[in-house]
A and B are shown apart, each in its own frame.
Chain A
Amino acid sequence: MIRRIWGMLYRHAAMYRRSWPRVAEVAYWPTLNMLIWGFTSTYIAHAHGAPRAVAAGGLIGGVLLWEIMLRGQLGVTIGFLEEIWSRNLGHLFVSPLRPGELLGALVIVSAVRTLVGLLPATIIAYLLYSYNILALGPVVLLFFINLLVMGWWVALGIVSLLFRYGAGAEALAWTIAFGVTPLACVYYPLTALPAWLQPFAQALPAAHIFEGLRAALLGHGMDWRQFTLATGLNVAWALAAILVFAGEFRRARVRGALLAIGE
């Protein structure tokens, strides 16, 4: 098992080594987002004084942390799409590589992509806006892991859609996670949403993570209740996504969709 996962990691490492546009893409959006929201936050802080500075810090922290989810999701789905684009899935699925091992490799690739992609944005936040996400302490790691896991189960859902609808569902890989953003409460508290929308937001781990982040920024320390809710929801959603993936993979083998997934 380990050697097969290593084989897939080697495949992706070799691909990135030979393609600078792919490497640039990893860091491009997080850096761009940080520049836009960083300057916006600086403007808010200067225009409205110190109390707003906390909100501005929340914006920058939100941008950085939300990018973890987005990059985590894209890391898995793009990795899978690379196999479709290169018409290599047929070879992979008739090798001894289990679907779970393929996903395991993509998850590792996604974690590395996310870390590398966020590094320039983190440095920019520190140098240009004097914002140090690590100053929040070890809780950042807990936020990081939770958001990464959320990105992975969202990706698993998208890969399941690719099995069902073929490469025609590719656009979803780029858009679904962005569509979740309004409910993730990244830039505003949960109470800013209409009452009828709040239960939907509360069903997502992200809303609890960002409530926790804001509590930490306001000096209230770690909100363990929100963290526990986020972790529990992540586990539940991840299990559901695994079941959906297994079902769609099986259905794809019945329908013959694996033979024509690139169409």
Chain B
Amino acid sequence: MEAIRVENLVKRYPHTLAVDDISFTLAPGQILGLLGGNGAGKTTTIAMLLGLLVPTSGNITVLGHDMAQNRFSALARMNFSSPYIALPARLTVRENLVVYGHLYNVPNLARRIAALAEQFNLGALLNRPAGELSAGQKTRVALAKSLINEPELLLLDEPTASLDPDTGDYVRGVLEDYRRTQGAAILLASHNMGEVERLCDNVLMLKTGRIVDRGPPEELISRYGREDMEQVFLHIARSETL
């Protein structure tokens, strides 16, 4: 069973075709990169995978659940992190994690929070209000929240944005480790091409709502005759024919 199966997905707004007939799958234990410039359809696709947005047509199956019929069963087994969504600023880090632990029905919640605090180096921050944290600290807390239920599927939108290189590298290590130990699938939207090369087994290149190319990063680099994913991204983004 795939973690994600998307078939002929379309999202049409009155004046825009945001996602244009895309299909893809994501297997358990794999990391799939969702790449594309601004307006390519990444956020729209993720929003439909999360059930925040109803597709115009097409099917989404997440962890065996049809998102149109049974999205809450899937949502309990997945999680999401984005630096563009905040946690309540007045609540401490611990209180925020307790809230989401309850929402995801996490057993042994205190133990789980202690493990996450150690994993993301949050020990000194647990009793501080989330609103007082730096951008990088908030991103780490958001990632801790996204792992609170030990999800089988993790959707990450720019997971290391606003992190310094050292912390960003540490977080990538955590994600690699989580994938390896839990066998979790990860869908990653990122503009950091070094991160994509390091983490992703496969990438989807999106442009104006369509998948214009796909494959493992090294294969794409080789196919386009470039040195790295940054150059592949620029080539595709600037190409008139793709």
Bound-state Cα–Cα, A98 to B104, Å: 12
Shortest distance in angstroms between B167's beta carbon and chain A's nearest beta carbon? 21
Query: Is the beta-carbon distance between A96 and B85 smaller than 8 angstroms?
Result: no
- Whether a CB of chain B sits under 8 angstroms from the CB of A87 is yes
Shortest distance in angstroms between A118's beta carbon and chain B's nearest beta carbon? 24
A75-107 vs B, CB cutoff 8 Å, 1 = contact: the mask equals 000000010001110111111111000000000
Closest to B76 in A: A96
Query: Is the beta-carbon distance between A7 and B95 smaller than 8 angstroms?
Result: no
Query: Is the beta-carbon distance between B52 and A93 smaller than 8 angstroms?
Result: yes
Question: B86 — which chain A residues lie within 8 A by C-beta?
Answer: 86-88
Question: B129 — which chain A residues lie within 8 A by C-beta?
Answer: 18
Query: Is the beta-carbon distance between B105 and A91 smaller than 8 angstroms?
Result: no
What range describes how many residues of A lie at the interface? 20 to 34
Query: Is the beta-carbon distance between A94 and B50 smaller than 8 angstroms?
Result: yes
Bound-state Cα–Cα, A253 to B43, Å: 14
Query: Is the beta-carbon distance between B75 and A253 smaller than 8 angstroms?
Result: no
- Whether a CB of chain A sits under 8 angstroms from the CB of B102 is yes
Question: B92 — which chain A residues lie within 8 A by C-beta?
Answer: 14
Shortest distance in angstroms between A85's beta carbon and chain B's nearest beta carbon? 9
Bound-state Cα–Cα, A90 to B142, Å: 12
Question: B13 — which chain A residues lie within 8 A by C-beta?
Answer: 255-256
Query: Is the beta-carbon distance between B105 and A90 smaller than 8 angstroms?
Result: no
Closest to B98 in A: A10
- Whether a CB of chain B sits under 8 angstroms from the CB of A52 is no
Question: B233 — which chain A residues lie within 8 A by C-beta?
Answer: none
Query: Is the beta-carbon distance between A14 and B91 smaller than 8 angstroms?
Result: yes
Shortest distance in angstroms between B75's beta carbon and chain A's nearest beta carbon? 5
- Whether a CB of chain B sits under 8 angstroms from the CB of A44 is no
Contact surface of B with A, Cβ cutoff 8 Å: 13, 43-44, 47, 50-54, 72, 75-76, 79-80, 82, 84-92, 95, 98-105, 129, 145
CB-defined A-B contacts under 8 Å, sample of 16: A7-B100, A8-B99, A11-B88, A90-B82, A90-B85, A91-B100, A94-B50, A94-B51, A95-B104, A96-B104, A97-B103, A253-B52, A256-B13, A256-B52, A256-B53, A259-B47
Contact surface of A with B, Cβ cutoff 8 Å: 3-4, 6-8, 10-11, 14-15, 18-19, 82, 86-88, 90-98, 250, 253-256, 258-259
